[in-house]
Structure 1
């Protein structure tokens, strides 16, 4: 296990965000520090973060690097120091495999399925917008063209 992997195993994104001053809600949302955010738009998952406002994303090392303007190496050093991680003597619990929670696995599978359905729908709408575009202003609008125009935004 590399030093970076060790840090990512030990320090969770919400834990680091709270430690460095972000207000993390019970549903693991926070105001994004990377843009002018008045309402929480950053989701802090266990292993990564994602801002629905500005698109910032990454793991715990990326979060600390962006928060403090550091390189990945410097951010890893900061996390090591702040969270008391000793790369030469990792905690024994890290060596044990983490049990996969069945409900979490089911949720992730459903999330992937939903994203696939949404992506398929997006591609269908893009296709309809091109395929059913009226050729002249007098042509009757096809329902699929209308739906594509309304739903693509």
Structure 2
């Protein structure tokens, strides 16, 4: 196997791109660094391709294009920067102990990348869930508008009113907060986010069901009085 094939066995274009500073968004979308890309138009994973300027290739092509290197120099740079256990020009660059260390470090890098991706996914999903939860609160409030007081004030409605400022606080953290604040929310309160959302949804559902039931009872009583 050539050193070119070996490098591609160890690395993807995305790993190299992120190592050299490219910010990759959800689903492997990024702003192309090879033209003045105002809107993310590059798809990158094992290989990369820009739908705007048409450039694309594998991890080696990305590095040679990014740093203005030959294909061979790009391979040497990747081997050196990522400390890959690959022989160059007939020389074994690392002994077995060093290879084991490099393998362990590679596994740790992949673990960290997985945690970051999981964290980013959770943040985006939580924003969507909390936004939907606020819409359900608004729906319940609109439903109760112009209803008699005995249909409005209840434990379920109190639960919703109590939850709204907490939801807005968490939304602020997730949308405009510092990374450390988001991480703290993820580590300490992600279960609370799930529980609060479930309570709000259950309360909103009961509010509308009980209100409809109360209206039905009153209508039935009026019908009996008319008889």
Superposition TM-score, scaled by structure 2 size = 0.38
Q: Note the alpha carbon deviations across 1:102-138, whole angstroms, 9 max, x for none.
A: xxxxxxxxxxxxxxxxxxxxxxxxxxxxxxxxxxxxx
Q: Distance in 2 between matches of 1:17 and 1:79?
A: 11
Counterpart secondary structure, 2:5 = helix
1:46-61 alignment, distance < 5 Å: 46=46, 48-61=47-60
Superposition TM-score, scaled by structure 1 size = 0.56
1:77 aligns with 2:76: yes
1:41 aligns with 2:37: no
Which protein is bigger by CA-based radius of gyration? 2
Shift of 1:12: 1.0
Task: Specify the alignment match of 1:20 in structure 2.
Answer: 20
1:64-143 alignment, distance < 5 Å: 64-88=63-87
Q: Distance in 1 between matches of 2:82 and 2:44?
A: 18
Q: Distance in 2 between matches of 1:28 and 1:38?
A: 16
Task: Specify the alignment match of 2:62 in structure 1.
Answer: 63
Q: Distance in 1 between matches of 2:9 and 2:26?
A: 22
Task: Specify the alignment match of 1:145 in structure 2.
Answer: none
Q: Distance in 2 between matches of 1:9 and 1:55?
A: 25
Moved over 2 A (4+): 88-93
Q: Distance in 1 between matches of 2:18 and 2:45?
A: 13
Q: Distance in 2 between matches of 1:41 and 1:15?
A: 18
Shift of 1:57: 0.7
